[in-house]
Amino acid sequence: MAEFVLPKGSRPVRGKEHPAPEGVKNPRRFRIYRHDPDQGGNPRIDTYTIDEKDAGPMVLDALIHIKNTIDPTLTFRRSCREGICGSCAMAIDGTNALACIKETKSCRNGVVAVYPLPHRPVVKDLVPDLTALYAQYAAIQPWLKTQTPAPSRERKQPPEERAKLDGLYECILCFSCSTSCPSYWWNEEKFFGPATLLQACRWILDSRDEAAPERLDQLEDPFRLYRCHTILNCTSVCPKGLNPARAIAEIKKMMVERLA
């Protein structure tokens, strides 16, 4: 019988309880993952209670309020606050999401659980280490590759060819999809994962690119592409409403068609 245990020192323990401010009228509790690998010890779950009227409607607003008024040691990434940069991707209420566009009121039971993206090493608190994911993204060479001389102004593309990129180019590389994928958890060193494969599909389908056969050759591997088992976690969590599973299926289809 298989036995699954957490690595030593990885099980979160109960952390600090920060009481509600006096006179709170609209209390909202946050349970937030806290861990500093440089300090050692187990991660902990700290609890904060804030008055909703003191913060904005999004989870990121609440995190900024907690950091500014209660606990300045809380660490997280954020930038655009508009669902564009992908910096604030984290596990909120059990699902990967962008904190800047995740409404606090949408969380269940009145308590908001906030963790870093799953199955990644933690730099500190809610900041995951995405080095391996970016290395895989770089491996697909995400830029236009051509052999013909460059035109004087631009490489033109008919509207019907440009339309093939819809649903692909919008990816913001937040990696919510890849870190929610069990196949990626099991094979993260070899499987490229939903985010990188969606980007690979974007360049393969670009009519201006002249390296599609080379790109397909790179993905013709038992692990890089074919570890996808169509679990569809990737599609369900994408904050931009994209469908990485369909992009992966499209690549598999192109693999078969070129053998015909």
> pTM here?
0.92
Range list for CATH 1.10.1060.10 in the chain: 131-145+156-257
Q: What is the pLDDT of residues 89-127, one digit of tens each?
A: 999 999 999 999 999 999 877 799 999 999 999 999 999
Report the chain's C-alpha Rg in angstroms: 21
Q: What is the distance of C-alpha 89 from the center of its chain?
A: 6
Q: How confident is the model at residue 130 (pLDDT cuts 50, 70, 90)?
A: very high
pLDDT value, residue 22: 85
pLDDT value, residue 156: 92
CB atoms within 10 A of CB 146: 11
pLDDT of 15 higher than 80: yes
Residue 51 pairs in a beta bridge with 27
pLDDT value, residue 8: 75
Structure-block tokens of residue 247: 């992009």
Q: What is the pLDDT of residues 142-184, one digit of tens each?
A: 999 999 999 999 999 999 999 999 999 999 999 999 999 999 9
pLDDT value, residue 259: 84
User: In CATH, what class is 13-128?
Assistant: alpha beta
Taking alpha carbons only, the member of 257, 75, 86, 100 closest to residue 178 is 86
Range list for CATH 3.10.20.30 in the chain: 13-128
**Cα 86 from Cα 78, distance rounded (Å):** 8
E strands of 35-188, at which residues?
Answer: 44-51, 89-92, 95-98, 111-115, 122-124, 127-128
pLDDT value, residue 83: 95
Question: Do you know the residue count of the chain?
Answer: 260
Q: What is the pLDDT of residues 174-233, one digit of tens each?
A: 999 999 999 999 999 999 999 999 999 999 999 999 999 999 999 999 999 999 999 999
pLDDT value, residue 89: 98
Name the CATH architecture for the domain at 131-145+156-257: Orthogonal Bundle (1.10)
Q: How confident is the model at residue 25 (pLDDT cuts 50, 70, 90)?
A: confident
**Cα 115 from Cα 256, distance rounded (Å):** 40
pLDDT value, residue 119: 94
Helical residues (DSSP H) of 107-222, grouped into ranges? 131-139, 159-162, 182-186, 193-204, 212-219
**Cα 62 from Cα 44, distance rounded (Å):** 19
CB 240 within 8 Å of CB 170:
yes
pLDDT of 4 higher than 90: no
